[in-house]
Chain A
Amino acid sequence: MYRGSDEVIAQSNPSFMNGVPELLILRLLQAREMYGYELVQTIRAETGNVISLGEGVVYPALHALEKQRALKSRRKDVGGRTRVYYSVTASGAKRLTALSTQWARITGAVGTLMGEARHAAAAI
């Protein structure tokens, strides 16, 4: 699902990346409503291309989040084309808070471990 520097992690241990697409989608859509293409480009831009989604796979995640009532969608005519815009619901905002907390704990724990490993390596 992920390319670039995260590709090895995602492919060798997909469960490690579980919940990350949802986290990114909810985080970005909380700021403003977006359609799929716009969302993917924003993820690429804001992560400096470190996280680059297989662009089509964002839609199943959007549909599923909408089904779980974390997102809502509306059709909007833009430049003669009908776009489906997604935005975060109140329930989605709660879920984002929970996912963010969980993610902070994981990155904190990994950071601590990596720091200890560095100290140990330096001591040797």
Chain B
Amino acid sequence: MPQPQFRALKERLLHAGIAPKHVRRYVAELEDHFDDLVHEETTRGLDKSTAENAALNRLGDDETLAQTMLDRPELKSLTARYPWAVFGIAPPVLLAVAVYLGILANAGLFSVVGAAPAVGADMPDWIKAAVAAWHGLLMYAAPLAVAVAVGIIGLRQRTEIAWLILGASIVVMLGSFLEIGMVWSELPGQSSLSVGLHVSGKNALIGGLVRLPINLLVLAGFYWLWRRRESAHEQ
């Protein structure tokens, strides 16, 4: 946690789009430098308070410290430079990757139990239950996990709230209509797995429209928790 004198600087740099890793390191280095200068000044005979003032003077005022960092556009984060990509394109891609990896894990389960070539209705019940549970987790948790990840990236970098809402909404909307289903066939090797956005048919539409506000509510809960945590840190 930064010393009080650098807290405002940290917030200003994050809001201006400097990558959090550079901001964290810059503030940590300034704090160390400040301690070294105070030590140097007290060794020369100054009392602590005067030494701290002298140290701050030698480091440079807030405006200079901020401006020299802001004059380096290469230190800005990807999120600050290309918010449309991070919050518009990346979220659906991430969701697709998460679902794909989940399905791969599913195939891995069949391999582990040695049933990959002959998946059928005669599979043990525990496998069917595990597969159903896994698909349920992917359908309901993956979109939320991606939306939360996108939100955390944006919140850490103090991105404008509009971008966060855009990114999270895209994932949550897609996720609300995401359907993963397994149809077990009596014939070995003929069972099928379907993945897609289920928007055709009244029931599918209603199901998605019910999940949408629930997902948004869960996300709002995460946002509230984050704000609470940040307030606790500031105090």
Contacts and interface: CB of A to CB of B under 8 A. Distances in A.
B65 to A, nearest CB: 5
A56 B72 contact: no
A26 to B, nearest CB: 16
A108 B85 CA distance: 49
B60 A55 contact: yes
Interface string B49-72: 000000000111000110011011
B25 interface: yes
Contacts of A68: 74
Interface in A48-69: 54-57, 59-61, 63-64, 67-68
Give the size category of B's interface with A: 20 to 34
B33 A56 contact: yes
Nearest to B55: A55
Contact of A36 (B29, B58, B65, B71): B29
B163 interface: no
Contact of A56 (B25, B64, B74): B64
A84 B29 CA distance: 8
Contacts of B223: none
Nearest to A40: B33
A103 interface: no
Contacts of B30: 56, 59
Interface of B: 22, 25-26, 28-30, 32-33, 36-37, 58-60, 64-65, 68-69, 71-72, 74-75
Given A54-B58, A60-B26, A61-B68, 19 more contacts: A1-B68, A36-B29, A36-B32, A37-B32, A37-B33, A37-B36, A37-B37, A55-B58, A55-B60, A56-B33, A56-B60, A56-B64, A56-B65, A56-B68, A59-B30, A59-B69, A60-B71, A84-B25, A84-B28
Interface of A: 1, 35-37, 40, 54-57, 59-61, 63-64, 67-68, 81, 83-84
Shortest Cβ-Cβ A-B pairs, 9 listed:
A54-B60, A56-B59, A57-B68, A56-B60, A37-B36, A60-B69, A60-B68, A64-B72, A56-B65
